[in-house]
Amino acid sequence: MNGAPHAGVPDAFEITVTRKAHVAADATRVVVLQDFILSLPKSGFVALIGPSGCGKTTLLRIAAGLDQSFVGKVRNPEALRLGVVFQEPRLLPWRNVAENIALARPAAMPDNTADLADRLGFTSVLSRYPSELSLGLARRVSLARALAIDPGLLLLDEPFVSLDGASADRLREVLAQTVGQSGATVLMVTHDVVEAIGLADTLIVLSERPARILARIALPAPRGRRTIEDTEAILAEVRKAQATAG
Amino acid sequence: MTKALSLAVLFAIWEVAALVAQSRLLPTPGTIIGTIGLEIRSGEMPFQFACTLGRVGVAFTVAFVLGTIIGTAMGRVPVVDRFFDPWVVILLNLPALVVIIFAYLWIGLDETAAIVAVVLNKLPNVIVTTREGARAMDAHLAEMAQVFRFSALKRLRHLLLPQLAPYLAIAARSGLSTVWKIVLVVELLGRPNGVGFVLGTSFSLFDVTKILAYALMFVALMLGVEILGVQPFERRAARWRPRRV
């Protein structure tokens, strides 16, 4: 599918959107996605990159089951448990940090809050309320909440935007480690190509709206250990794909 | 401190006015406190207040629970809102007295009629306030709860009620004062006991001292409920909010 280079690995998740349109403020219909198929290989880490407003977030919302008003279907044959990191942290303001994480976790799962807080560096604020946190800390908690449920499918919408370089790097490292160990399938939306190259093993370059797949680039293994030369080469490939579309 | 001083000045003015007027229609504060003591010792006042408080408690609880459920449904589901909105508007604008009269006429001069009359008077306010709260709910958090598969109980406890809490506090506060006042009218018109009944009989006997004694106790009790009941609830519901500096 889409010339996917993952022959042999079964697809864990597939989104088919025949048509998805928004009604804009001036009552005209804007087609966001048309004849779009995205398949995620099991335990793969796919990064979607594309211009803002091209329909990335819409695609993620459809994958999360939050947007039902489209023509098409979402296939989740193994009923993977869903974890989502939204663009905004979306913590319950009236529950403290520890409660926010505990509430998302099904009752049967072991309590791993302390471990995650330690690895992500927010142990000192576990009993604070979200209004007392900086945006950076709130993002860590939001990531911890999604990882705490040991998700089979992790959806990330620009999870590290507006973080300083050092904390973003730390969070990326924890994310890569955790999904590497658990074998979760990941779909991440970002506009930071270098970040995508650092984390993912498949890069999907999208066009302007309505989004089409311009290129599906398989990155050399292992993920997270790319040299500067590798990164440069992949960047060039991304630019080329975007240029041919324009 | 200022409030205490303000109350003291009020009583001083009253005392002076009563001494100047020397009339049965304006007894001094001292006389009234004496009457309150007498009424409490005879057991008359505790009994009448217990009757009234019982009615307030039942009517308030019923109106509050029903109003919260209906108000939330109207705030969340547009069809329900459109259907019930005219009913709420009619109830809101129906004079309390009319509701009370019809309750007594149709149901009879009994306790059920009294409670129904008070509930119908209070219900629309609770509905309107809760509806505002239900409308103002955060869609982002609702999506979060959906993605993380919150159970219905979790949604109620951790998503719905915390967002409704400030509105419920408003409804409770304005609700309690409305219910008080309406219960007195209901008792005046058709009950053989309660503070409203005592006020009615004292009025026909021109017993101003007794009227003032019961009215003052009433206000004191209301203040107690406000300070011990409503305010702690509000503080608890707002403890997660960032402190204003």
pLDDT tens profile B133-178: 999 889 999 999 999 999 999 999 999 999 998 898 888 878 888 8
Q: Answer whether A129 sits within 8 Å of B240, measured CB to CB.
A: yes
A96 vs B contacts (CB less than 8 Å): 240
Q: What is the pLDDT of residue A186?
A: 94
pLDDT band at B233 (very low <50, low <70, confident <90, very high): confident
Q: Are A98 and A204 contained in the same domain? A: no
Give the number of domains in chain A.
Answer: 2
Nearest beta carbon to residue A90 from set B141, B158, B241: B141
Distance of residue B208 Cα from the nearest chain A Cα, in angstroms = 50
DSSP-derived letter for residue B148 is: T
Distance CA(B6)–CA(A12), nearest Å, equals 74
Distance CA(B203)–CA(A97), nearest Å, equals 60
Nearest to B12 by CA among B27, B24, B29: B29
Q: Are A167 and A47 contained in the same domain? A: yes
For range B60-74, the mean pLDDT: 93
Structure tokens of B3?
A: 């409030």
- Above 60 in pLDDT, residue B245? no
Distance of residue A90 Cα from the nearest chain B Cα, in angstroms = 6
Is residue A201 assigned to a domain?
yes
Dump pLDDT digits (tens) for B9-46: 988 898 898 888 888 788 888 888 898 999 899 988 99
Cα-based distances in Å from A35 to A47, A52, A149: 20, 20, 33
Q: Are A163 and A240 contained in the same domain? A: yes
Q: What is the pLDDT of residue A246?
A: 57
Q: Are A55 and A158 contained in the same domain? A: yes
DSSP-derived letter for residue A154 is: E
Q: Are A200 and A238 contained in the same domain? A: yes
Rounded to 5 degrees, what are φ and ψ at A190?
A: -155, 160
What ipTM, to 2 d.p.? Answer: 0.86
Q: Are A159 and A70 contained in the same domain? A: yes
Q: Answer whether B141 sits within 8 Å of A132, measured CB to CB.
A: no
Q: What is the pLDDT of residue A3?
A: 42
Give the structural domain span for A120: 91-150
Q: What is the pLDDT of residue A142?
A: 95
Q: Centre a 10 Å sphere on the Cβ of residue A110 and count the other Cβ atoms it contains.
A: 9
- Above 80 in pLDDT, residue B241? no
Q: Are A163 and A245 contained in the same domain? A: yes
Is residue A241 assigned to a domain?
yes
Q: What is the pLDDT of residue B114?
A: 92
Q: Are A213 and A100 contained in the same domain? A: no
Q: Are A139 and A65 contained in the same domain? A: no
Q: Are A213 and A199 contained in the same domain? A: yes
Distance CA(B233)–CA(B178), nearest Å, equals 19
Pairing of strands A153-157, A45-49: unpaired
Q: What is the pLDDT of residue A2?
A: 44
Query: Residue A86: closest CA among chain B residues belongs to which residue?
Result: B144
Give the residue extent of every domain in chain B: 30-237
Q: Are A158 and A210 contained in the same domain? A: yes
Q: Are A159 and A67 contained in the same domain? A: yes
Is residue A86 assigned to a domain?
no
A92 vs B contacts (CB less than 8 Å): 141, 144, 158-159, 162
Sheet holding A82-85, edge to edge: A82-85, A153-157, A185-190, A45-49, A202-206, A213-218
Is residue A123 assigned to a domain?
yes
Is residue A178 assigned to a domain?
no
What is B30-237's CATH topology? MetI-like fold (1.10.3720)
Q: What is the pLDDT of residue A8?
A: 53
Q: CATH number, domain at A211?
A: 3.40.50.300
Q: Does B244 reach chain A within 8 Å, measured CB to CB? A: no
Rounded percentage of chain B residues whose pLDDT exceeds 90: 56
Helices (H), B94-207: 96-107, 111-135, 139-147, 152-154, 161-190, 195-204
Alpha carbon A4 to its chain centroid, in Å, reads 19
What amino acid is encoded at B240 in this protein? W
Please list, in sequence order, all residues whose beta carbon lies within 8 angstroms of the beta carbon of residue A70, skipping any fewer than 6 positions away. Answer: A17, A18, A19, A20, A33, A62
Nearest beta carbon to residue A88 from set B140, B150, B154: B140
Low-confidence ranges of chain A (pLDDT < 50): 1-7
Q: What is the pLDDT of residue A4?
A: 45
